[in-house]
Structure 1
Amino acid sequence: MDGMTTGGLALPALVAAATIGLWAFALLPEFLVALLFFSAATILRLAAPDVVFSGFASSAFWLVLSGFVLGGAIRKVGLADRVAGLLAPRLVGSWPALVAGVIGLTYALAFVMPSNMGRIAVLMPVVMALADRAGLPAAGPGRTGLALAVGFGTFQLSASILPANVPNLVMAGAAESAFGLHFAYLPYLALHAPVLGLLKGAVLVACIALLFRPGPLAPRAAAPAPAAMTPEERRLAALLLATLALWMTDSLHGIPAAWIGLAAACLCLLPRIGFLSGEDFASGVNIRTCLYIAGILGLAAVVTRTGLGDRVGRALLAVLPLDPARPALGFASLVGLTTLLNFAVTANGVSALFTPLARLLAEGTGLPLVTVLMVQVIGYSTPLLPYQAAPIVVAMGMGRVPARDGARLCLAVAAVTFAVLVPLDVLWFRLLGRL
């Protein structure tokens, strides 16, 4: 018998709460919490093993693993340092300029590359090489801030671009199947980019620049003109360009980004034609982070499959202050609902649970159905803790960022978002006739 028949929702709720609590407060290493979740969920039969371990079958898991391989190859052959050398003269003059440049890179790349994990894999080694050029110490706050800039910029800002974020795609697919709605690229961008893209980018720059300010930068002396690319660099550059081209055209050929990344990673590991040895793989792939990602995805699957997520959503719906005569209150309540759901099912699961409730929520708030669907983007793109957004976790793993620092930035950005950006979003939605 599974957890649903032996204890209703009590056991799934207890295991989910314990797992989330251990992750949130960093009481145990994140990979150990994931392993404990797998053990508890299987022993207590909360769900079938294929659900509990579904994170290992997820494309996100394999994109994370292949991202570590590609990042290691970029560092080893020297491409990261070469690109950093081209960017350094424009960015290493001051700490705020360096942070703003990295955030700008994450947002610009989101327009041409659909995968969060892929963008992190490409950017992280380049940004760490930039940190070297700026003279930032290996274990200092400045390097931590730049690693977080890659993760937060990649995940949070890409929510304003429809095809650049997994929760966006889940929401769009669920809305199409449930309500027959189709979201177009440009109207979606016009609705979200000004506040969730540009203004939130400015908030990220300010928070990172203030929270992780290093000592005075000590840029390296201007490097001589770079030498010609080595054969290894040329081969890796060709492989990366082909990988990027396939990622950018996934809507045409239908091959998911994860399997493209996995194939590229395999080429990087092949004897003679590849770039990494078995020892490089063992030292470069952060298995701890991979297990953590599998645990997050498995927890979301269990919460969804057992019905716990739906029960939580409907319970919250019953106590929300919904008043059709006060649309701004309804707007804020929906942001709060998605923020709370994010604790239980993480960002990828929020849209799957929230979207089916949209018609009921539209009736309760008096807001148009499309507006209700669009409001959730604010909530799932603003995690209160790092575990709620897998790309942030991956960036923290690649940059070796302590959990406490990731949580500090999450809370700071969320505080400014809810206090400043949400009211501005209300005004922007109203200006565009969505409220």
Structure 2
Amino acid sequence: MAVEVWIAAGLVVLTIGLWATAKLPEYLVALLFFAAAAMLNLAPPEVLFSGFASAAFWLVLSGFVLGVAIRKVGLADRIARSLASRLTGSWPRLVGGVVALAYALAFVMPSNMGRIALLMPIVLALAERAGLGEGSRGRTALALAVGFGTFQLSASILPANVPNLVMAGAAESAYGIHLSYLPYLVLHAPILGVLKGLALVACLCLLFPAKPQEVLPAEPDKPLSPAEKRLGMLLLATLALWISDGLHGISPAWIGLCAACVCLLPRIGFLSGDEFATGVNIRTCIYVAGILGLTALVGYSGLGALMGAWLIQVLPLEPGSPTRSFAALVALTSALNFSVTANGVPALFTPLAQSLADASGLPLLTVLMVQVIGYATPLLPYQASPIVVAMGMGQVRAKDGIRLCLALAAITWMVLVPLDYGWFKLLGMIPG
């Protein structure tokens, strides 16, 4: 290995280590990475700062803008009032309703953090209405339903999850592969969305049994305000364009950016300049750019090819055994989750995908898609920052989050991964 590769490897390990241990804020680690890589001349600026030109960066930014607008116009409060009487009849219905809401919202709000910031106050207020007070098992379950439903299920929707965006940006820059909204949804939603959602509801009901009080229907809501109507129409139009991106060829990122611009327009929009400055989480946007820059450095420096060669020798990848190769790739992404967390898995895995595809005999696109199963199934809460944020907002004890993580991971490995293999094969993603 050349000296430059050793230096790049050291910087990558240090950066990922700081992100994994949270010793410094994630945005500061990203800025330190940019500064160190630029000062050491490890790659040209267009490589290091390619994250700022990626679709992922702009989709995260637009997601935050849409989330702030939804809260401001009052759609969040309207949803909370309408849910109370419909969901509090039984415990499975209440838990299932919250999980379904978290999943449904992922179709219109691309940001995990934005959805959690929107949903958690609604769900905690719903828990209070149902008699599930602070510290109760029921309140804990509903808070976990928001966190796990928001992060894990949204992995099945391309623009709704930061790791998805990192993977899409890295695949585009490394291999010229452009992922489309609808094919991605068809591949992942049946297993990682619907079936995993049902497994999540079952785990929550069994691990945290509760008896919510029934809430009587409230007085009818006031008619939608003009701002709510305009924003609702904008969200519907945005979703329609996201779903049909295979027809018109416009990236979901640019669709989201246009919607965000409409939200910021004077008179027509919903947010002022001050509200944009205080409500949009620029820290996370810089973090995403940093991850993509790190991915680009891994590929440019040759570090990815070297790591791929080593992994090929260690993993049981065989061209004639797609089942074993599929399981080994899922295991690899699950193992990477421990050290680099969910956001870092696609940054490290995607540059290795071509080498892994050559060794396993699986198509490159299949190898790229397999990683979704691994990073969408954290074994411990710290591996997914949205879950950690949700647990903090809901005052959930660490051991409760760990119990749910392990239970859901066990179901995923024993039931959902084999089903996913069969679904991949049925769709022609696995030859033979």
Q: Is the Cα contact below 8 Å between 1:170 and 1:351 reproduced in 2? A: no
Distance 1:310 1:206, change over 3 A: farther
Gaps of 5+ in 2: none
Map Cα deviations across residues 383-427 of structure 1 (whole Å, 9 max, x no partner).
557897xxx656876997699969846666445433553355567
Aligned twin of 2:87: 91
Q: Distance in 2 between matches of 1:58 and 1:387?
A: 26
Which of 245, 248, 253 aligns to 1:253? It is 248
Aligned twin of 1:129: 122
Aligned twin of 1:152: 151
1:99 to partner: Cα distance: 3.7
Distance 1:410 1:142, change over 3 A: closer
SS at structure 1 position matched to 2:196: helix
Question: Matches of residues 1-400 of structure 1 in structure 2 within 5 Å?
Answer: 7-93=3-89, 96-107=92-103, 113=107, 117=110, 125=118, 128-135=121-128, 141=140, 144-158=143-157, 189=186, 195-206=191-202, 222-322=217-317, 328-340=323-335, 346-347=345-346, 350-351=349-350, 353-355=352-354, 357-362=356-361, 375-383=370-378, 393=385
Stretch of structure 1 that moved more, 30-39 or 335-344? 335-344
Q: Distance in 2 between matches of 1:340 and 1:248?
A: 33
1:315 to partner: Cα distance: 0.5
Q: Is the Cα contact below 8 Å between 1:124 and 1:399 reproduced in 2? A: no
Q: Distance in 1 between matches of 2:51 and 2:72?
A: 29
Q: Distance in 1 between matches of 2:168 and 2:285?
A: 23
Q: Superposition RMSD on alpha carbons, in Å?
A: 4.6
Distance 1:17 1:210, change over 3 A: farther
Distance 1:20 1:411, change over 3 A: farther
Stretch of structure 1 that moved more, 259-268 or 166-175? 166-175
1:226 to partner: Cα distance: 0.8
Distance 1:297 1:155, change over 3 A: farther
Distance 1:429 1:288, change over 3 A: closer
Stretch of structure 1 that moved more, 134-143 or 302-311? 134-143
Q: Is the Cα contact below 8 Å between 1:371 and 1:434 reproduced in 2? A: no
Stretch of structure 1 that moved more, 296-305 or 345-354? 345-354
1:274 to partner: Cα distance: 2.0
Map Cα deviations across residues 21-57 of structure 1 (whole Å, 9 max, x no partner).
2222222222222222222222222222222222222
Q: Distance in 2 between matches of 1:184 and 1:291?
A: 24
Stretch of structure 1 that moved more, 410-419 or 16-25? 410-419
Q: Distance in 2 between matches of 1:59 and 1:430?
A: 29
Q: Is the Cα contact below 8 Å between 1:88 and 1:133 reproduced in 2? A: yes
Map Cα deviations across residues 97-130 of structure 1 (whole Å, 9 max, x no partner).
44422333455577xx5x8726875786356434
Q: Is the Cα contact below 8 Å between 1:68 and 1:121 reproduced in 2? A: yes
1:234 to partner: Cα distance: 1.8
1:270 to partner: Cα distance: 2.2
Q: Is the Cα contact below 8 Å between 2:157 and 2:181 reproduced in 1? A: no
Map Cα deviations across residues 338-358 of structure 1 (whole Å, 9 max, x no partner).
445666653366345324532
SS at structure 1 position matched to 2:154: helix
Q: Distance in 2 between matches of 1:185 and 1:243?
A: 14
Q: Distance in 2 between matches of 1:172 and 1:39?
A: 24
Map Cα deviations across residues 230-274 of structure 1 (whole Å, 9 max, x no partner).
122222222222222222222222222222222222222222222
Q: Is the Cα contact below 8 Å between 1:107 and 1:154 reproduced in 2? A: yes
Map Cα deviations across residues 349-378 of structure 1 (whole Å, 9 max, x no partner).
63453245324312xxxx799976765553
1:172 to partner: Cα distance: 9.5
Q: Distance in 2 between matches of 1:127 and 1:385?
A: 21
Give, as a single letter, the amino acid of the residue that structure 1 aligns with 2:267: R
Question: Percent sequence identity over matched residues?
Answer: 51
SS at structure 2 position matched to 1:9: helix
Distance 1:209 1:124, change over 3 A: farther
Q: Distance in 1 between matches of 2:61 and 2:175?
A: 31
Structure-1-length-normalised TM-score = 0.74
Q: Is the Cα contact below 8 Å between 2:64 and 2:111 reproduced in 1? A: no
Stretch of structure 1 that moved more, 144-153 or 52-61? 144-153
Map Cα deviations across residues 271-324 of structure 1 (whole Å, 9 max, x no partner).
222222222222211222222222222222222222222221221111223467
Gaps of 5+ in 1: none
Stretch of structure 1 that moved more, 195-204 or 325-334? 325-334
Q: Is the Cα contact below 8 Å between 2:333 and 2:345 reproduced in 1? A: no
Alignment size in residue pairs: 413
SS at structure 2 position matched to 1:74: helix
